[in-house]
């Protein structure tokens, strides 16, 4: 709006022209309906991890407080934690003293946990309870001689930890994020007794297609749908938002699995823009200006202030 006032001031418009410009601005603001999704932003697992990390640092000013790996996929939050003196560890030092290490919501492999313990860290395990449940189910299936299939991305830390926990009890384990990937192992899994768990942030469509394929080749199939409630609520709401709006904005890191899946679901159903923060809105001015009903949703690792900033920027007509 500021730019408009400046424009009027410096351009000496006639009263009629001024009224016309103001009318246009009014029409722009009135015609836009911006809806914020109910399930946008931090999930309970992420909220718990961020709050506990800050609390631990406050309560232990003399101790070194570290997190093994980035606490969440959000550069602003990592920076904020670093400013508070909370260190992100990418490698485990040989020996430490007076140091706490937080296990993030994705969990960690038994090997990492052992190494941290041996190094002398006091461990605070903030693995999300939903992720713990997947680790538990995966271990149970392997112990019961099921060939374990983990539906998810092999390189994602949550999946790596689930797999490593299960590997303590057997070797028949595969990770796949699509039917195509599984088909490459058809001979290995054909006619087996198969057990399935799912990365907590996967798409339901992915699980469905994999289960359909496995039904056609397995001897016995046991499925645990371990997509967490936060993810399913968010994804179901996104499908509704796609029906009711001209445009949906997904706010969150492009490195975040749950945010990327949200954007994928929406792209199949509606005009969708995936941005990390308000700065990127600049690139989508045209499509935003031409949309009357806009919905905003966000991944589980997107802080509220980033979402608010996006909404305020659109409202400001920038």
Q: Which residues are catalytic?
A: 158
Binding test (CB under 6 A) with ligand SF4, winner from 37, 40, 46, 103: 46
Residues 6+ apart with CB under 8 A from 286: none
Q: Which is nearer to ligand SF4, 130 or 167 (CB)?
A: 130
SS (H, E, C) 47-102: HHHHHHHHHHHHHCCCCEEEEECCCCCCHHHHHHHHHCCCEEECCCCCCCCCEEEE
3-state secondary structure of 297: strand
200 forms part of the interface with ligand SF4 (CB under 6 A): yes
Among 67, 96, 228, 288, binds ligand SF4 (CB under 6 A): 228
Q: How far apart are CA 246 and CA 38, in angstroms?
A: 18
Nearest-approach distance from CB 42 to ligand SF4, in angstroms: 8
262 scored as a contact of ligand SF4 (CB under 6 A):
no
* CB 261, min distance to ligand SF4, A: 10
Q: Give the tokens for residue 46.
A: 């992420």
- Per-position b or e across 176-195, b if 16+ CB within 10 A of its CB: bbeeeebeeeeeebeebebb
Q: Tell me the C-alpha distance between 137 and 284, whole Å.
A: 43
Question: What is the dihedral sign for C-alpha 151, 153, 159, 160?
Answer: positive
| Strand partners of residue 151 | 176, 198
Least separation, in Å, of the C-beta of 228 and ligand SF4? 3
Shortest approach of ligand SF4 to residue 190 CB, angstroms? 32
Q: Is 291 in the site for ligand SF4 (CB under 6 A)?
A: no
Q: Is 131 in the site for ligand SF4 (CB under 6 A)?
A: yes
Q: Quick check: 127 binds ligand SF4 (CB under 6 A)?
A: no
Count the residues of the shown chain that bind ligand SF4, applying the rule CB under 6 A: 15
Residue from 135, 202, 231, 259 binding ligand SF4 (CB under 6 A)? 231
Q: Does 105 bind ligand SF4 (CB under 6 A)?
A: yes
Q: Is 130 in the site for ligand SF4 (CB under 6 A)?
A: yes
Contact call for residues 124 and 179 (beta carbons, < 8 A): no
Nearest distance from C-beta of residue 130 to ligand SF4, angstroms: 4
- Contact status: 44 vs ligand SF4 (CB under 6 A): yes
138 contributes a contact to ligand SF4 by CB under 6 A? no
Q: Which residues bind ligand SF4 (CB under 6 A)?
A: 43-46, 105, 128, 130-131, 200-201, 228, 230-231, 258, 300
């Amino acid at each position: 709006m500021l730019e408009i006032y400046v424009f009027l001031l410096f351009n000496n418009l006639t009263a009629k022209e001024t009224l016309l410009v103001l009318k246009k601005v009014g029409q722009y603001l009135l015609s836009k309906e911006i809806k914020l999704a109910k399930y946008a932003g931090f999930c309970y697992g992420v909220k718990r991890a961020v709050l506990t990390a800050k609390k631990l640092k406050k309560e232990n000013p003399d101790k070194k407080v570290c997190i093994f790996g980035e606490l969440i996929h959000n550069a602003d939050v990592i920076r904020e934690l670093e400013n508070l003196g909370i260190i992100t560890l990418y490698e485990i030092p040989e020996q430490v003293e007076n140091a706490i290490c937080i296990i993030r919501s994705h969990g960690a492999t038994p090997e990492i946990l052992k190494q941290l313990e041996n190094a002398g860290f006091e461990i605070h395990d903030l693995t999300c309870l939903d992720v713990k449940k997947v680790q538990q189910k995966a271990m149970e299936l392997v112990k019961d001689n099921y060939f374990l299939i983990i539906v998810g991305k092999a390189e994602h830390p949550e999946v790596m930890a689930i797999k490593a926990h299960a590997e303590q009890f057997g070797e028949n384990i595969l990770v796949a994020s699509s039917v195509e990937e599984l088909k490459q192992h058809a001979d290995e899994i054909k006619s087996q007794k198969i057990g399935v768990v799912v990365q907590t942030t996967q798409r339901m469509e992915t699980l469905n297609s994999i289960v359909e394929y496995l039904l056609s080749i397995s001897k016995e199939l046991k499925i645990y749908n371990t997509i967490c409630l936060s993810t399913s609520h968010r994804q179901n709401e996104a499908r509704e938002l796609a029906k009711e709006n001209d445009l949906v904005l997904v706010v969150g890191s492009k490195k975040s699995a749950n945010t990327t899946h949200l954007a994928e679901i929406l792209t199949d159903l509606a005009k969708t823009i995936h941005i990390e923060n308000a700065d990127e809105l600049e690139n989508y001015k045209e499509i935003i200006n031409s949309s009357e009903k806009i919905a905003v949703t966000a991944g589980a690792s997107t802080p509220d202030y980033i979402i608010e900033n996006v909404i305020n920027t659109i409202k400001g007509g920038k």
